[in-house]
Amino acid sequence: MDGADIAVVGGGASAVCLLDALVTLDGPPGGVTIFEPGPHLWRGRPYQRDTEVLRLNATPDDMSVRHGDPGQFERWLAARDLVVGVPAEGPGPLDPYSGARFASRTVYGEYLEHSARANLMALIERGWRVDIVRERVVSAAPTAEGGALLRTEQGRRFQADHVVLCVGGGATQDSYGLSGSPRFLVDPYPLSGTLDSLQDFDQDSRVGIIGSGLTAVDVVLALVARGHRGPISLLSRGGVLPAVRQRPVRHDRRHFTPERLRAAAQRGPVTLDTAVRLLDDELTAAGEDLTTVAAEVTALHREEPVARLRRQFAEVDSTSIALRIVQAAVPDTGPDLWSLLPDNQKADLIRRHYRSVLTLCCPMPAASAATLLSLIERGQLRIVRGLQRIAAPGVAHSGGFTVTTDTHVLRADHIVNAVSPPAHRIPAAAAELVDSLVIAGVASRNPVGGLHVDRATSRLTVDGRPHPRFYALGDLAFGSLFFTFGIPAMVDRAHEIGSALREDMSVVRRTRRPASALAAPR
């Protein structure tokens, strides 16, 4: 009996996590076909080759693609250090303020490439058929035989037993209508090359950066690394910077856990009040207080941005571990909590607190914060709040861009967009595919973004009924899931998809030919 044919639509980091889960599948060998039209196979947009100053904002134990093995990436890094001659200790690999290691995103991209190739080779050695198709999938639908039929932009057709959508995030958006200006960057990556593409850009240019999140911090770091001397302004409505990551500590949670949430669900409805009580129990057991976390949330919009940055940098070695408990607990327990909350509380969380959760739970390395503070102290960097509009310069480029805020007007020679693609929107490149799935009756749009998926398996659902052949991994599942983008979340969901595939493959006998053999021009 042949094994199942699995079509993976997308070839970025989420696909790498899925491949690692597929290696663990039992049963007869099948086939896997990966569809990826973009230039950054396995790396995706976030981890493409770029300047070495761009770092991960998480430590190696949070970046392994192997489920149940958080040390895998750290071991890979250690082996790479030996090969390239990087010392095990010293100022290079470690953050000098927190003592943690934050690998460069370029190096992490190497790890993703290595993992994908190693897993594909492992599948091939076990008799699996592997194919990589550098084409965009524009439609997919179930077949009468119980499988799925996919069609690419070039008109080729492929048949598979299971389809996993790993389409990644969307493209950046020009919110201020600046596209077409040679002095505007709509997508800053890769920063090693895009800044030089700006017309008349030099080391003394006045640079305005739209946004104040992790991408904006990346742009600042890249400018500093190339010796930029001109003024830099972070332009946003709220001026909320990422939190500063504190020195790592070990804490074993006992109260705010998926198991405790599921137990609570057996006793009655789970609400935000339930979560707050469990989190309070967790913090109290650790000698901490929920008011510490509440005060930090309140400070996001009430405390002046630079004052907040200085305070958080000074607390890198804080004896309080309340924030560190929350930063570890929310991504781990959040998916289970999210699936149990009533819809009105989900919508309220997204509308009122989504940015706050990301800011606190996705902090920047302390070394990045130190660089920002140094620039602020010498007057080169400003955090500008109350952004209303940006007007592009005229034909003669006299005066540069005009930036209007709630309180004043300023000028910039160049504008760099650092607003990340929103997780709650279906990527434009996948819109045609998603439309086909909805028309075929195997997918339904979530009103808060993405597609409806089953929490336990990530299968696409319509009216609460999971389809046994179609899955979504990553941002496309936003709404049904809350954390869809971080590596730990994708690893957990990929493991669950692998478990669902294993269960299905144990009872379904193959009656169709391999997906690669069915490829044919339309």
φ/ψ bin of 53: left (φ > 0), alpha (ψ from -120 to 50), beta (otherwise): alpha
The alpha carbon torsion through 105, 110, 114, 117 (nearest 10 deg) reads 100
| pTM given for the model | 0.92
Query: How much is the pLDDT for 522?
Result: 35
3-state class (DSSP) for residue 38: coil
Q: Give me 70's structure tokens.
A: 């958080």
Confidence of residue 397 (pLDDT cuts 50, 70, 90): low
450-474 per-position pLDDT tens digit? 999 999 999 999 999 999 999 999 9
Phi and psi at residue 520, to the nearest 5°:
-155, 145
Mean pLDDT, rounded, for 174-187: 92
- Is the pLDDT at 1 greater than 60? The verdict is no
Tokens 């069915």, located at residue: 518
Alpha helix positions (H), 246-342: 258-267, 272-285, 290-302, 305-314, 322-340
Q: What is the mean pLDDT of the chain?
A: 90
Q: How far apart are CA 233 and CA 458, in angstroms?
A: 41
Please, are residues 411 and 439 in contact by the beta-carbon 8 Å criterion?
Answer: no
- Is the pLDDT at 28 greater than 90? The verdict is no
Q: How far apart are CA 432 and CA 73, in angstroms?
A: 36
Query: How much is the pLDDT for 221?
Result: 96
43-66 per-position pLDDT tens digit? 998 899 999 999 999 999 999 999
Query: How much is the pLDDT for 339?
Result: 86
| Cα dihedral sign, 214-215-217-221 | positive
312-332 per-position pLDDT tens digit? 999 999 999 999 999 999 888
186-231 per-position pLDDT tens digit? 999 999 989 988 988 999 999 999 999 999 999 999 999 999 999 9
Q: How many CA atoms lie within 13 A of 18 on its CB side?
A: 30
Q: Which residues contact 57 (CB under 8 A, 6 or more apart)?
A: 102, 214, 242, 245, 362, 363, 364, 365
Q: How far apart are CA 357 and CA 438, in angstroms?
A: 31
Please, are residues 323 and 356 in contact by the beta-carbon 8 Å criterion?
Answer: no
Q: Which residues contact 374 (CB under 8 A, 6 or more apart)?
A: none
CA 161 to each of CA 5, 283, 322: distance values in angstroms, whole numbers, following the listed order:
5, 46, 46
Mean pLDDT, rounded, for 274-291: 95
Query: How much is the pLDDT for 92?
Result: 55
Q: Give me 15's structure tokens.
A: 């696909």
Give every strand in the sheet of 129-133, ordered side by side: 129-133, 31-35, 5-9, 162-165, 465-472, 459-462
- Is the pLDDT at 423 greater than 90? The verdict is no
CA 316 to each of CA 69, 152, 236, 363, 446: distance values in angstroms, whole numbers, following the listed order:
27, 50, 26, 11, 39
Query: How much is the pLDDT for 62?
Result: 93
Confidence of residue 173 (pLDDT cuts 50, 70, 90): confident
Query: How much is the pLDDT for 89?
Result: 45
Q: How many CA atoms lie within 13 A of 475 on its CB side?
A: 19
Query: How much is the pLDDT for 421?
Result: 76
More confident residue, 354 or 440: 440
Please, are residues 213 and 242 in contact by the beta-carbon 8 Å criterion?
Answer: yes
Please, are residues 413 and 419 in contact by the beta-carbon 8 Å criterion?
Answer: no
Among the residue ranges 26-30, 187-191, 348-352, 393-397, the one predicted with the least confidence is 393-397
Q: Which residues contact 71 (CB under 8 A, 6 or more apart)?
A: 60, 61, 64
Which of 235, 225, 167 has the alpha carbon at shortest distance from 191?
Answer: 225
Q: How far apart are CA 386 and CA 223, in angstroms?
A: 24
- Is the pLDDT at 33 greater than 80? The verdict is yes
- Give yes or no for a cis peptide into 190 (omega within 30° of 0): yes
Please, are residues 335 and 492 in contact by the beta-carbon 8 Å criterion?
Answer: yes
- Is the pLDDT at 515 greater than 60? The verdict is no
Q: What percent of the chain has pLDDT over 70?
A: 94
- Is the pLDDT at 161 greater than 80? The verdict is yes
Give every strand in the sheet of 414-417, ordered side by side: 184-185, 414-417, 207-210, 232-235, 381-384
Query: How much is the pLDDT for 239?
Result: 93
Q: Give me 239's structure tokens.
A: 């001026």
User: Which helix (H) or strand (E) is 351 found in, with range?
Assistant: helix 343-361
Q: Which residues contact 227 (CB under 8 A, 6 or more apart)?
A: 203
> What does the DSSP 8-state code read for residue 412?
E
Which of 432, 435, 497, 502 has the alpha carbon at shortest distance from 470?
Answer: 497
- Is the pLDDT at 508 greater than 60? The verdict is no
- Is the pLDDT at 519 greater than 50? The verdict is no
- Is the pLDDT at 150 greater than 90? The verdict is yes
Query: How much is the pLDDT for 353?
Result: 84
